[in-house]
Structure 1
Amino acid sequence: MPAFADPYLITLPKLGAPNIGYISVAEGPGLALPFAVQRVFWTYYTPESIVRGRHAHHRTEQVLVAVAGRITVVTETAAGALKTFRLEDPHVGLYVPPRMWHTMQYSHSAVQLVLASLPYDEADYIRDYDQFRALGRPG
């Protein structure tokens, strides 16, 4: 099994000023993003009591951005290492590498933008938690 990076925060450029507003730009690979974007989607109007995600990907890398509101993201390696991130600034994204279980919980007004390295492929998803944890066991 190849080793993947840990999740980490990415600060995107924030261009502008309070009196005119701001624009942030996500370009990649090697500029602001660690990969070329092949899929973009967003989630919104998610009730605060709902936990989304609950999966990992075999190959897809993602950057999650709270373009509005607050999103709490919990990541977990197959070995069980947990990290919690609070996204609430529209020029900060969270890099989620392959084989990283992740869950998201949203404030009512949250809008999450997801930039993904690959197009949608159901076969890329690991939706069974026990199967995911088995990836971290030797042999």
Structure 2
Amino acid sequence: MINKTIKDIRIIDIPKITDPRGNISVIEKSTLPFDIKRVYYLYDVPCDASRGGHAHKLQLEALIALSGSFEVKLNDGENVKTIMLNKPNKGLLIPVGVWRELENFSSGSVCLVMASDVFDEDDYIRDYNDFKLFKRGNI
């Protein structure tokens, strides 16, 4: 049974090097608690659209708002929390077994996602009722 909860979600600091010519943030092996196996990004998302709408059985993910802002609604089956991402040097680490929905994208926003594994459709829980069963250990 997956017993990860809202309390296991955390904001991670991405190292930031400030410079009058522009800042640099660096993600290295020690930045995240997992090896990055896949990177993808969301962009040109209409402000009234929603992304996500799933949980993972085994995969960890870290999200960063590289540009603009968006909200991440997180649900552990009992508790719900919404986090606004709007700084490129802050990441949101989402553990396994947490439902996520991304919404309220600002114009020009870019969401970078770093994942602990390659794409595997079997790792996704895309139906909320199946998610509730998964959290109870029934699937």
Would the TM-score normalized by the shorter structure come out above 0.5?
yes
Distance 1:76 1:124 in 2: 17
Q: 1:46: which partner in 2?
A: 45
> What value does the CA root-mean-square deviation take over the aligned residues?
1.4
Return the alpha-carbon distance in structure 1 between the equivalents of residues 137 and 37 of structure 2: 33
Considering fraction of residues, name the structure with more strand. 1
1:90 aligns with 2:88: yes
Post-superposition CA distance 1:46-90 (Å, at most 9, x none):
000001100001111000000000010011003x21111100000
Q: 5+ unaligned residues in a row in structure 2: which ranges?
A: none
Partners of 2:121 and 2:15 in 1: CA distance: 32
Q: SS in structure 1 opposite 2:131?
A: helix
Q: Does 1:21 align with 2:22?
A: yes
CA distance in 1 between counterparts of 2:34 and 2:136 reads 28
Q: Distance in 2 between matches of 1:66 and 1:8?
A: 15
Q: TM-score, normalised by structure 1?
A: 0.91
> What is residue 65 of structure 2 aligned with on the other side?
66
Amino acid at match of 2:36: V
Corresponding residue SS for 1:123: helix
Structure 1's consecutive aligned runs of 4 or more residues displaced over 3 angstroms after TM superposition are 2-5
- The residue that corresponds to 1:108 in the other structure is 107
Segments of structure 1 that go 5 or more residues without pairing to the other structure are none
Q: What secondary structure sits across from 1:21 in the alignment?
A: coil
Deviation at 1:23, TM superposition (A): 1.1
Question: Percent identity at matched positions?
Answer: 37
Q: TM-score, normalised by structure 2?
A: 0.91
